[in-house]
A and B are shown apart, each in its own frame.
Chain A
Amino acid sequence: MNKFNLTQFVVMLTLFIGLILLPHYLRYQHQDFMIFLIINVLVVVSYRLMTLTGEWSLIHIVMMGVGAYTSALMSKHMGVSVWLTIPLAGLSAAVLAGLLSTPLFRMTQFYFLIGSFAVGEAIRLAWIFFIKPFGGSSGISSVPSPELLGIDFMDPIPYYYLVLIVVSLCLWVLYRIEKSRIGLTLNAVHWKAPLAQSVGVNTWKYRTLAFMVASLFVGIAGALKIHYLGNVTPHQFGVGSMVFVLIWVIVGGYNTFYGPIIGAVVLSVLDESLRNLNEYRPAIYGVLLIISIMFMPKGLEHISQGLKDWIKTAKSSS
């Protein structure tokens, strides 16, 4: 193991221990905040897998809702254990993504963006208009929480650990996919789809794969969210929430695995810490966003890369 890997390892370990200890030092309201933040990390990282192919969709948050509704309906009305409905939530979102990819990937770029938005809205409106079984505007309430060995998962601390474990596992899977040959091929599809095709890459298959895997994990994220909240409504998965995902990914940067994570964490913490400023909050948040995009167009990830280079040169010159 060389020196650089060692620092990386130490950073990861500290982060992990920190995340394990953290909830015990937080107030109730901040424990809630951490749970949703970790879920949002999974949302942005799974979204990044999709953007690797160069296609930006507006359907990601709706896919989160697909997972959420699946999990809520199955656990509440069919009596299926929440431990089963969480993976099934991901699976249902992935299957739906697979079905939608045939019409959606006839489009690319801007047209795909608009197409994905239209399909997403159609799904969301279906939740509103089909009162049976989706519950209309008010959605589904009293969604059961998971049960295991008498642990109370209504309490934020156990649920925090549950979310931490599930999301860590999911991030590991997404990381492995990106670093594998599949990640390389997705990048190739992004940069020059015709060239990739000419050496035998089935670009349609890889776009579909990325869409399905991204939907799988965001579906799981959706299930995690609503089993903590206890209710699911169509408004949680509107285009407003999607815009937040886009902002986190763009401000954080999408050229590295950790870029979107930095974006989601920094902006969420910032937003939370502005809470006391009440009516000024959106304005200040907006100004900070504009500043960050103007002065760091490559995203926050660029700062950490600059830091790395700086340490390297400092080391080699000493």
Chain B
Amino acid sequence: MALLEINNVSKHFGGLAALDEVSFSALEGEIHGLIGPNGAGKSTMFKNISGFYSPTTGTIRFNGQDIQGLSPSSIAKLGIVRTFQETTLFQELTVFENVLVGCHLEAEVNLLDALFGLNKKVQQKANVHALKVLDFMGLTERKDQLAIELPLGSQRALAIAIALAAKPKLILMDEPFAGMNPEETRQMMDLTRKVNETGVTIVLVEHDMKAVMGLCENITVLNFGTLLAQGKPDEIRQNDKVINAYLGGGH
């Protein structure tokens, strides 16, 4: 069953079409790859799905509900959480606090609660949940360090931990393997699989082909804002149009 359905989504900036009538869908429980050369529109697509942009035309359905045009926080409430390119964390907060912010949807408090500590149970539940997520991602030992002090691999793991703390149905991962060495890549692949095995659907934007081919069940390829190809990793690998797009015309 399709969890996320993108139907004819276009995004125009002035006269420029960053996305032109793109459609694809991600099945519930899978890891879905979204690839393409630089400037293909992958990040624009992510921003449309997560509410940072709203599509010029087209619909985005999640879990049977139209979500295009909703705000990022409302989309998070429905169960879609994204991670960001580079490493985007709350750098001046501790690892534990980072994950605690991720628990926002279940642990948000109002002013009165804050003043008189009326909701200790909810806060304790959030603390326990945050610790569980840290343990799951192998970050327990680092929980009191500042996020900015972590090595790259742990920072990326923390970014996923923050997303996971929000208990999403779907995580959009934006280039989680960028700049990693082979050992870090292997660990990150294991973590991604582990997250997926808990029942979370993942859509992955990535340039590291080894990681994409190794992880994804289905792959969507974009080029110049249009849909280029769709299929299983083996089909994509042998697709002439895809090879051309990556290596340039004339080959």
- Which A positions have Cβ atoms within 8 angstroms of B? 173, 176-177, 180-182, 184-185, 187-188, 191-192, 194-203, 209, 213
Q: A198-B50, A199-B166, A200-B77 are in contact. Are A181 and B72 (CB under 8 A)?
A: no
- Considering the complex, give the chain A residue whose CB is closest to the CB of B126: A181
Q: Please indicate the chain A residues that have their CB under 8 angstroms from the CB of B97 in the complex.
A: 184
Which of B73, B89, B162, B166 has the most A CB atoms < 10 Å from its CB? B73
Interface pairs (29), CB distance under 8 Å: A173-B115, A177-B111, A177-B115, A180-B117, A181-B114, A182-B109, A184-B100, A187-B92, A187-B93, A191-B92, A191-B93, A192-B90, A192-B91, A196-B101, A196-B104, A197-B52, A197-B73, A197-B76, A198-B50, A198-B72, A198-B76, A198-B82, A198-B83, A198-B84, A200-B73, A200-B104, A200-B166, A202-B71, A213-B111
**What secondary structure prevails in chain A residues at the interface with B?**
helix
Cβ distance A312 to chain B, nearest Cβ, rounded Å: 16
Least CB distance, B149 to chain A, in whole angstroms: 15
* Closest chain B residue to A212, Cβ basis: B111
Q: Are B76 and A184 in contact (CB under 8 A)?
A: no
A198→B90 contact, CB < 8 A: no
Q: Is the CB of B114 within 8 A of A199?
A: no
Closest Cβ of chain A to B93, distance in Å, is: 6
Contact of A194 with B84 at beta-carbon distance under 8 Å, contacts A180-B109, A184-B101 already known: yes
Whether, in the assembled complex, B7 has its beta carbon less than 8 Å from a beta carbon of chain A, the answer is: no
Excluding A177-B111, A192-B89, 12 further A-B contacts by CB distance (< 8 Å) are A176-B115, A184-B93, A184-B101, A185-B104, A192-B88, A195-B162, A198-B76, A198-B82, A198-B83, A199-B165, A199-B166, A200-B104
Name the contact of B89 in the complex, choosing from A176, A184, A195 (C-beta under 8 A): A195
Q: Report whether B72 and A194 are in contact in the complex, using a CB–CB cutoff of 8 Å.
A: yes
Question: Which residues of B have CB within 8 Å of A213?
Answer: 111
Least CB distance, B238 to chain A, in whole angstroms: 36
List of B residues within 8 angstroms of A201 by Cβ: 73, 101, 104
**A188 proximity list for chain B (CB < 8 A):** 90, 93, 101
Interface pair B104/A195, CB less than 8 Å apart: no
Residue on A nearest B72 in the bound complex, by CB: A197
Cβ-closest 4 pairs across A and B? A180-B114, A200-B76, A197-B72, A200-B105
Cα of A182 to Cα of B102 in the assembled complex, Å: 13
A residues in contact with B50, CB < 8 Å:
198
**Bound Cα distance from A164 to B58, whole angstroms:** 60
Residues of B contacting A192 in the complex (Cβ-Cβ under 8 angstroms): 88-91
B73 lies within 8 A of A194 (CB):
no
Q: Does B40 contact A (CB under 8 A)?
A: no
- B210-245 contacts to A, CB under 8 A, are none
A199 neighbours in B (Cβ, 8 Å)? 76, 81, 101-102, 104-105, 162-163, 165-166
Max chain A CB contacts within 10 Å: which of B91, B102, B107? B102
- With a cutoff of 8 Å between Cβ atoms, the chain B residues found around residue A198 in the complex are 50, 72, 76, 81-84, 163
The CA-CA distance from A201 to B166 in the complex, in Å, is 11
Is B135 located at the chain interface by the 8 A CB criterion? no
B123 at interface, CB cutoff 8 A: yes
Which residue of the partner chain, among A181, A184, A187, A202, contacts B73 with CB atoms under 8 Å? A202
- Which of A181, A194, A202, A203 lies in contact with B88, CB distance below 8 A? A194
B88→A195 contact, CB < 8 A? yes
Is B108 engaged at the interface, CB distance under 8 Å to the other chain? yes
B169 to chain A, nearest CB (A): 13
Which residues of A have CB within 8 Å of B52?
Answer: 194, 197
A84 to chain B, nearest CB (A): 21
Contacts of A195 in B (CB 8 A): 84, 88-90, 162
A182 touches B111 (CB 8 A): yes
Docked CA distance A162–B113 (Å): 27
Check if B88 sits within 8 Å of A187, measured CB to CB: no
Contacts of B114 in A (CB 8 A): 176-177, 180-182
- Determine which of A181, A196, A203, A209 lies in contact with B107 in the assembled complex, contact meaning CB atoms within 8 Å: A181
Q: How far is the CA of A213 from the CA of B111 in the complex (A)?
A: 10
Bound CA span A196–B50, Å: 13
- Which residues of A have CB within 8 Å of B102? 199
Residues in chain A near residue B166, CB distance under 8 A: 199-200
Chain A residue nearest to B99 (CB atoms) is A199
